[in-house]
Amino acid sequence: MLIVYHNPRCGKSREAVKWLEERNIPFQIKRYLDEPLTFDEVEKLVELAGFHTIDIIRTNEQVWKEKYAELELDDNELIYAIIEDPILLQRPIVYNPEKDLAVIARPADKIQEVL
């Protein structure tokens, strides 16, 4: 079953959920703002999506600009920034544990890449 790292206040995240519902694709939601991610979870998502750690960070968020933008952070420090301020995580991320694949689902049809 797919896992959607979801922020219900985000339009793109809601679009991904709708895309899955319209296609009757089973999924579960992980509300990462309410259920903090572990270091290992974030590290795995980065690896599976094939990105650099900075690529899954929302650098346009105010908290990034205020706390992190001027710092030279390594990958581990970037992951800890996401753990401390989960709003920094790009969204939505859709993870397929059966195929061990993840994608930032923007636009929503990028979900096809992990099916």
Q: Catalogue the active-site residues.
A: 10
DSSP code of residue 84: H
Element (H, E) at 68: none
- Judged by phi (left if over 0) then psi (alpha if -120 to 50, else beta), residue 50 lies in left
CA atoms within 13 A on the CB side of 25: 20
